[in-house]
Structure 1
Amino acid sequence: MRLDKRNKLLIGGFVLALVVCYQLAIKKTLALRTQYVHDSNIREQTKDLPQKLANLKRQEQQLDTQFAGLNLESTNMQHELLRFLNEQGSEHSVKVIDFSAPHVTHEGETTTSTYQFILEGGFSSILKVAHALETKANFGGISHMAFEKEKNLRNGKSVLQASIFIQQME
């Protein structure tokens, strides 16, 4: 009987020694290892951070130049369109004769705005302005363009006028 009691005490002491070792050494070692692995992962993630930051700055500059080319400074579309037409008109010697209020239609969640204006000048100059409207600006697409040659009765000169409709969907 005495042998069984010793064995039980020996096994109990061994289990108690394991619990004490875990609490004093192994638990702290495992916590430090977990923290080390976490810090190593963060170090790996931040290793190429300067390169990512440089790429983001380059991308921001590219987007800024694209937005500058799209004339997105103002929220008043009609004002910006008129300003753009005047800039292009002075550059290509084209006059803005008429600029009507936009025609707005609502179909479900889609809002369609149609801007109508009349340009006067040479054929190629009007085409250059129309091309600039579609490529350089973000005003929408040209949905209709009609040319009409009119004769001024006062001075006897003929002028070419183009009626242009620009349609924008939102």
Structure 2
Amino acid sequence: MSSAPSPTFEVARRVVETLTARHVTIGVAESLTGGLLAAALVEVPGASAVLRGGVIAYDTRIKHSVLGVDAEVLAAHGPVHPDVALQMAVGVRTALVVDGEEPWIGLSTTGVAGPDAQDGHPPGTAFIGLAIGNEVRFVELHAEGDRGTVRAAVVARALDLLVEFL
């Protein structure tokens, strides 16, 4: 007996199908979600046609050295900030260039999963960055629950954000 697909899987499936139909690619940069966002996309058969890859930038220094987040922004605000999410979304596109071509979409997550606050931000505070073409935006999220619940909520919201803008 098989169980019904999760709501997150269904949204990820819609994302993969839409990207496939449009012949565009995506790259993800993750901090607090630690690979869960990429895993949600990879769960969908056919994701390899659209998912270019991901960078897990859990260490703040990786946000700067690999994703190109401005060191001054990190020093001034820490890793939990909308500008960091935006720069991560843009930077992952540069990091995942193949044959001179960036992924069309960059999607990022950064925040505090808990249990403790970080840089004055309570657990559950998260920012999702989205870079599509020349358009860049972020969404702020305040999720309730333990680490797993917060991380799952951020993945779900990131996928919903993609659906909204596709």
TM over 0.5: no
Q: For the pair shown, which has the larger CA radius of gyration, 1 or 2?
A: 1
> Greater share of strand residues, 1 or 2?
1
Q: TM-score range by the shorter chain?
A: under 0.3
Q: TM-score, normalised by structure 2?
A: 0.26
> Greater share of helix residues, 1 or 2?
1
Q: TM-score, normalised by structure 1?
A: 0.26
Which of structures 1 and 2 has the larger relative contact order (alpha carbons within 8 angstroms, sep 6+)? 2
